[in-house]
Amino acid sequence: MKVIYRNQVKGIGSSVSEFKGSGMFIIFGDNAPEEIKDYCYTVDVVPINGKIKAGQYLILDDQAYEITSIGMEAPITLEGLGHMTISFSGLTEPEMMGTCYVKLPEGQEEPELGIASMILIVEA
């Protein structure tokens, strides 16, 4: 298993819970704009080790989600700003340039992240 991206949640915005049930969440480095900072999980800005693409897996803590598509800006903003939106819609064609789309297994709810939650992108 090749690790493409590894990070850890270090902060939780005061309004992150408002996204519960929306099918998405946002991660951002310390430099998140004030108007969205409260809606983001804060992470360090770390490098990406390879190309993020459909067929890889996003692992949140110990749960794996298949990446179904990735917006063309998502890897750039992830590496440069620590910013990416994660959508659990499972779309196979990205609708938003900065979003990583993953498939939520049937009957499963969106995960809740906490401080120190691990975020990985891996290639099997």
CATH number of the domain to which 108 belongs: 2.40.33.40
C-beta separation of 40 from 31 below 8 A: no
**Structural domain count of the chain:** 1
Strand order in the sheet with 84-87: 2-8, 118-123, 57-60, 63-70, 99-102, 84-87, 24-28, 40-42, 11-12
Q: Find the angle CA(98)-CA(42)-CA(121) to the nearest 5 degrees.
A: 55
Per residue in 2-46, pLDDT (tens digit) is 999 999 999 999 999 988 889 999 999 999 999 999 999 999 999
Per residue in 52-93, pLDDT (tens digit) is 999 999 999 999 999 999 999 999 999 999 999 999 999 999
- Domain containing 111 equals 2-123
pLDDT value at residue 124: 82
Residue 106 has pLDDT above 90, yes or no: no
The chain-wide mean pLDDT, for the chain, equals 96
The torsion angles phi and psi of 17, rounded to 5 degrees, stand at -60, -20
